[in-house]
Amino acid sequence: MDKYQKIYDFLDGIGTEEDHKSLFDQLSSNPELASEFKKLIAIDSSVSSNNSFFQPSVDASNQLYEKLGFSNGLKTPFYLGFLNFLRNPKFISGLVGSFATIIILWSYFTFWGNNGGSKSDNLINGSFISKSSNFNENLPTSSLNVSNKKFDGSGNYETKSVSGNKNSPKEIINYINNNKYLFYENGSLKEFNDLNNLNEYINAKNINTDKSKIFDISDSKYSKPYGKGLDIRNSTLRLKSIDLVSNDFQYESINYLPKDLEFHFLSNLGERPGNGLEANSLSGKITYLPIKTSNYKFGFELAKENFLQNFERQIENERTEFFTQNPSLITIGLGARAYLFNFNETVHPYLQLFAGTAFTNEFNLYSGYFGRIAMGTEIESKYLPFNTNIGLQYTNLGTLYDNNVFNANTISFLIGVSF
């Protein structure tokens, strides 16, 4: 038997306690063997199960994954780790196989400042329209630029402009709201509830009406430009003034800058007669799609989309007023997502189409439609229990609202997760 055999057995964990005891007895009586034992221990222990010394590079593993068509396991930033709390089993079980999307629509919309004075008016054309004052109680004082166009009797208008601070837009707007008559006297405006009161005032004070005129506020026209993007709005009041001497009427325009900055990141231009503007407010959408297991998948969506539209509308006496409507549409639809190609094993670009019905509170399921087309990407993560989705979506939807066709186009961002 090899003189080292007992040592080898000991190093390999072979043998009984008695064998080991025998070995140590031998070692104590044989210094040479004890020295060899120590050396063999040193050799064995230096390498014993030390395969941790052998670490293939990260590149080698990533290349292997790529060769097999797998995602390469790029690390997700640590700060995303907090999302792991979403891995609660109850939460996940309710969402397995689903895809949730939240549309965030940026639509910071400040239509003419404070709209708090709105009131309901059900009588206009028999429709439910919220009539708003649309005028800021605290309009900034601005210059009054009056542009008079007086009919000279020969078919021409004489134009003259007057500038000053004598009448702020706020005053005039308040008069308009109250449907009162104004008397322009020596550079200031006086208010009258009706024309008779105004005439009484003129007669009582024996005013030289050659230099005076009345403003028929009921014939005022108020206009306001609309559009998308960053917008500094210039507003115009057009007043019909009546010359008490000649009975000629003329229009005077008051231009002023309300200093309202409106930023319409997303807006919708509708088809309503006399429409001004439609704008999204915050909307939400849940889309259910299974996680990527093949190059396509099908799902459904439920969404609620809110809009705000402000528009001019002419009523019986040709007076133009402003109104606000808040169509709130519910959409239900089916759709599909197709993955275009694997960008780099973790990034999967996709094209997505959804279509279905859209309806308002009037609840006529078949009254409207919607269609969405989206492009985005689904991103896999090695350390998160879900995939992240980002994309850009175009939507067209239409329905009947307030006895009119409501139609809107939106562009929105998609942000979501796939389980």
Partner 1 sequence: MKLSYRKYNDSELLLKIAGKKSESEKAFKVLHQRYMQNVFAYIKTLIRDHDESEDLFQEVFIRFYNNAKKGIEISNVQSYLIKIARNLCLNHKRDKKHQVEVEDWHRTVDDELNLEHKEMFNLVMRALEIIDEKYSEAFVLKKIEGFKFTEVAEILEITVEGAKTRVNRARQKLLTILDPYINDTVKRERIN
33 binds partner 1 (CB under 8 A): no
- Establish if 16 lies at the interface with partner 1 (CB under 8 A): no
Contact between 316 and partner 1 by CB under 8 A: the answer reads no
Please state the closest distance from residue 2 (CB atom) to partner 1, in A.
7
DSSP secondary structure letters along 103-170: EE------SSS--TT-EEE--GGGS-EEE-----TTPPP--EEEEEEEE-SSS-EEEEEEEESSS-HH
Give me the least distance between CB of 53 and partner 1, in Å please. Answer: 5
By the rule CB under 8 A, 3 interacts with partner 1: no
Q: Residue type for 337, please? A: R
Tell me if 417 sits within 8 A of 99, measured CB to CB: yes
- What is d(CA 353, CA 30) in angstroms, rounded to the nearest whole number? 85
The count of residues interacting with partner 1 (CB under 8 A) is: 44
Instruction: Please report which helix (H) or strand (E) contains residue 210, including its range.
Output: none
- Tell whether residue 1 is a contact of partner 1 (CB under 8 A): no
Helix (H), strand (E) at residue 401 = strand 387-401
For position 40 contacting partner 1 by CB under 8 A, the verdict is yes
The token pair that represents 77 in the structure block: 């930033």
55 binds partner 1 (CB under 8 A): yes
Type of residue numbered 145: N
- The least CB distance from residue 14 to partner 1, in Å, is 8
Element (H, E) at 47: helix 31-47
Burial tier of 36 (Cβ tally within 10 Å: 0-12, 13-18, 19+): middle
Name beta bridge partners: 349.
377
Q: Is 57 in the site for partner 1 (CB under 8 A)?
A: yes
Among 17, 31, 47, 165, binds partner 1 (CB under 8 A): 47
Binder among 51, 120, 138, 161 for partner 1 (CB under 8 A) = 51
Contact code string over 270-309 relative to partner 1, x by CB under 8 A = ---------------------xxx----------------
Binds partner 1 (CB under 8 A): choice among 24, 25, 39, 365: 39
Residue 53 in contact with partner 1, rule: CB under 8 A = yes
**Encoded tokens for 178:** 């109250």
Does the footprint of partner 1 cover residue 36 (CB under 8 A)? yes
CB of 39 to partner 1, least distance (A): 5
Closest CA to 350 of 366, 361, 339: 339
Asked if 8 is part of the footprint of partner 1 (rule: CB under 8 A), the reply reads yes
Q: How far apart are CA 41 and CA 365, in angstroms?
A: 84
CB 51 to partner 1: min, Å: 4
CB neighbours of 376 closer than 8 A, spacing ≥ 6?
A: 349, 350, 352, 389, 390, 391, 392, 393, 414
Residues that bind partner 1 (CB under 8 A): 2, 4-5, 8, 11-12, 36, 38-40, 42-44, 46-57, 59-61, 63-65, 67-68, 70-71, 73, 87, 92, 291-293, 382-383, 385
